[in-house]
């Protein structure tokens, strides 16, 4: 592991990673394994009896794929995308079921039903020619790495979904919800102790348990929901952030605080 990445123990005892330069965790301090189950696997258990094709975007050390292998009965294939190959190679050094780690190791050496794409998701996404039943999207925070959350990348990801696919992410920021919403997906909240911890999206509204309410959807029309733009999928994070800031400054949209103030005035 290169020395800009540190290992730390999360609250469920599993190990997580922290990127010192980016000042960004790869895994929740509340539990790396718990996070994988609660935010990515549990919301998709509704599909468990079907043969599943899964796309794991931002594989990291593979908690999402490994947890999927533990819980889903009928996995047909998993395509994993990760820019840092070293992480995947080291991934089976992290404590997980020995059998699962063995499967990962075997597939890394000679892909059977798990394929690894070690490159920028922005390049890989256009080369994938399948529709997936489940998509995990687990990039770093969007305000730090908007390359992974632009409306343009999200549009490409959504093209890999069929009518009954489920898309999952921990991200529930407004620009990301807005980018998903503009692709006509139904959006739902994954909740824990009445807090929203993640997002689920599908073209099939029957697969969405806690849909966003009208007010939450209206918030997506405010300035704070202006999406990240990366038309040709080649801008730097800094350029994307700078362009969005300019777009917000020039936008005639209502601000979120004004929208909320109006709601309070109307006693809603
Ligand atoms: C939040 S971590 C993901 C954690 C991972 N799901 C796990 O279970 O360990 C984000 C990951 O995105 C990867 N990444 C960053 N930029 C990327 C890009 N442009 N394309 C693909 N992966 C990228 C990072 O190397 C990092 O492993």
Nearest partner of 188 among 172, 208, 171, 170, judged by Cα = 208
Residue 9 located in a structural domain: no
pLDDT of amino acid 267: 73
pLDDT at 268 over 90: no
The tens digit of pLDDT for each residue in 74-117 reads: 999 999 999 999 999 888 888 888 999 999 999 999 999 999 99
- Look at residue 235 and tell me whether its pLDDT is greater than 90: yes
Quick check: CB of 120 below 6 Å from ligand 1? yes
* Whole-number pLDDT of residue 244: 98
Residue 50 resides in a domain = yes
| Range(s) of the domain holding residue 151 | 31-218
**Cβ(87)–Cβ(61) below 8 Å:** yes
Provide the mean pLDDT of the chain.
Answer: 95
Measured from the CB, is residue 82 less than 6 Å from ligand 1? yes
Sign for the CA dihedral angle at 84, 88, 89, 90 comes to positive
Total structural domains in the chain?
A: 1
Residue 118 is predicted with a pLDDT of 97
Distance of CA 190 to the CA centre of its chain: 13
> Tokens standing for 265?
């005035």
Pocket test for ligand 1, best of 15, 17, 36, 60 (most atoms within 8 A of CB): 60
Helix (H, G, I), strand (E, B) or coil at 60: coil
- Binned at pLDDT 50, 70 and 90, residue 264 comes out as confident
pTM score: 0.96
In a domain, 16, yes or no: no
What is the distance in A from the centroid of ligand 1 to the CA of 145? Answer: 10
Is there an atom of ligand 1 within 6 Å of 42 CB?
no
Q: Is residue 255 included in any domain, yes or no?
A: no
For 61-78, the pLDDT digits (tens) are 999 999 999 999 999 999
Q: For the domain that residue 175 is a member of, what is the CATH number?
A: 3.40.50.150
Residue from 136, 166, 138 nearest 48 by CA:
166
Tell me the CA–centroid distance for residue 138 and ligand 1, in Å.
Answer: 7
Mean pLDDT over 177-188 rounds to 98
Which residues are registered as beta bridge partners of 63? Answer: none
d(Cα 95, Cα 101) in Å, to the nearest integer?
A: 9
Q: What pLDDT score was predicted for residue 32?
A: 93
């Amino acid at each position: 592991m290169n020395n800009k990445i540190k290992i730390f123990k999360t609250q469920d005892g599993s190990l997580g990673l922290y990127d010192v330069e980016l000042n960004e965790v790869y895994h929740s301090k509340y539990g790396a394994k718990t996070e994988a189950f609660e935010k990515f696997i549990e919301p998709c258990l509704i599909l468990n009896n079907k043969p599943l094709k899964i796309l794991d975007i931002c594989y990291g050390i593979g908690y999402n794929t490994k947890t999927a292998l533990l819980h889903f009965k009928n996995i047909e294939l998993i395509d994993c995308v990760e820019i840092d190959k070293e992480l995947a190679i080291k991934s089976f050094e992290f404590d997980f079921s020995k059998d699962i780690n063995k499967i990962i190791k075997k597939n890394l050496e000679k892909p059977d039903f798990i394929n690894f794409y070690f490159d920028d998701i922005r390049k890989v996404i256009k080369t994938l020619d399948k529709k997936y039943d489940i998509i995990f999207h687990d990039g770093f925070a969007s305000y730090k790495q908007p390359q992974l959350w632009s409306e343009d990348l999200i549009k490409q990801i959504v093209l890999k979904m069929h009518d009954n696919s489920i898309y999952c992410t921990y991200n529930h920021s407004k620009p990301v919800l807005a980018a998903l919403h503009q692709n006509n997906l139904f959006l739902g909240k994954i909740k824990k102790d009445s807090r929203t911890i993640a997002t689920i999206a599908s073209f099939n509204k029957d697969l969405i348990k806690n849909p966003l309410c009208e007010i939450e959807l209206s918030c997506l029309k405010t300035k704070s929901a202006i999406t990240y733009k990366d038309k040709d999928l080649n801008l730097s994070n800094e350029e994307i952030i700078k362009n969005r800031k300019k777009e917000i400054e020039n936008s005639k949209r209502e601000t979120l605080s004004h929208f909320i103030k109006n709601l309070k005035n109307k006693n809603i």
